[in-house]
Structure 1
Amino acid sequence: MSVRDDLSAGINVIIHFTFLGAIAWATGRPFLFPSLGPSAYLLATGEQPRAEGAYHVIGGHAIAAVFGLLAYVVFADGLLVTDAFTRAESFSPAVGRLAVSSTVAMVLTTVGMLWSDTNHAAACATTLIVALGLMSTPLDTGIIVASVVLLVGFHGKVVEPLQDHYGVEPRDAR
């Protein structure tokens, strides 16, 4: 355990989410979404080559967003997971369609990440967010990818130079 590394990671997350939160607030658009948290965590806690870095983070989320949207449009267009489960109906056609959408999205995302060697596990949550109707328009998909690009770019251009300047880059990636 390194208190220095832990505090550095916490500060990094504050910086990342203040930046994206400000963009979300200024635009009224969802530049913050659940699967961005694990990506920011990986960036904040240090180099983990198979999961962290622009290629993996951006590529994984882009693949996930596109395949999630494709599955949603084909199998569950117009449905929203929160509405479908509110009714708590056994064998609901809506829940069945969402289950198929999410399964197909996960398979396509998994295979797509393996074939492209992006390997970013957090992106699997992105594909479910899209496939279950939570962010399931082409605009939402674009915002997901833009948000990830902004996160990674901001990390590289602002957070890493600050870490270098103050000598607080995490030494022990976890």
Structure 2
Amino acid sequence: MTTAGARLRQTRAGAAGYAALCALIVLALAGGVGLALRQPWLFPSLGPTVMLFFESPETPSSRPRNAIVGHGVGLIVGAGCLYALGLAGQPSAPEGGLTAAHAVAAALSVALTTLALTLLRMPHPPAGATTMIVSLGILSQPPQLLAMAGAIVLVTLAGWGINRLLLGRA
């Protein structure tokens, strides 16, 4: 038995509409929570995550577990590189200008995140953006990191739920 969502995704226009509408719903939800809590529940790496969820839900990178683990590793590694290179409390790269320490932190955080996710066999490329957001100091304060973690969980659960409901699978 085919679900209505699966039938809709059989044409290019239907698949595009499905992906666009679902992305709009999930990111609007995260944005609404962010507005209510006055915290950054919307940040750049969520965009590619929801695109993966709804454009190619069958790929390993789109698995909910991969998204949660991928972004979680990115958050931890990004914060580790930020602190290890003495950038905590310093202006972010966009605010104060890119420094050598920022460049090292960003490159190292992506390399380590890639290493960890590859070893775990849990690919989720948007996690590379998450780790850079943190290691460049764009979002790096503990409340911001908690908001990012909350948004990742919310977006992943909402994406999984929508795909499960409309496609019959996550």
Same fold (TM over 0.5): yes
Moved over 3 A (4+): none
The answer to whether the 8 A contact 2:54-2:163 is kept is no
Larger mean CA deviation between 47-56 and 36-45 belongs to 47-56
Candidates 139, 143, 160, aligned match of 1:139: 143
Instruction: Tell me how far apart the structure 2 counterparts of residues 95 and 78 of structure 1 sit (CA, whole Å).
Output: 14
* Structure 1 equivalent of residue 166 of structure 2: 163
Aligned to 2:89: 78
Distance 1:110 1:46 in 2: 21
Percent identity of equivalent pairs: 24
- Counterpart in 1 of 2:154? 150
Post-superposition CA distance 1:72-104 (Å, at most 9, x none): 01112222111222xxxxxxxx60111111122
Q: Cα deviation per residue 1:117-161 (whole Å; 9 max; x = unaligned)?
A: 22100110000000000111232222222211111111223x225
Task: Report the counterpart of residue 172 of structure 1 in structure 2.
Answer: none
**1:109-124 alignment runs, 5 A limit:** 109-124=113-128
Match for residue 110 of structure 2? 106
Give the partner amino acid of 1:14: L
SS in 2 for 1:51: helix
The counterpart of 2:38, out of the listed 7, 28, 46, is 28
Q: Separation in 1 of the partners of 2:116 and 2:146?
A: 18
Q: Which residue of 56, 75, 79 corresponds with 1:46?
A: 56
> Structure 1: which 5+ residue stretches go unaligned?
86-93, 170-174
Alpha-carbon displacement from aligned partner over 1:19-52 (angstroms, at most 9, x marks no partner): 1111011111001000000001011213242211
TM-score by length of 2: 0.85
Q: Structure 2 residue aligned with 1:56, among 66, 76, 91? A: 66
Q: Count how many residue pairs are aligned between Structure 1 and Structure 2.
A: 157
Q: What is the distance in 2 between the residues matched to 1:49 and 1:82?
A: 34
TM score, norm. by length of structure 1 = 0.83
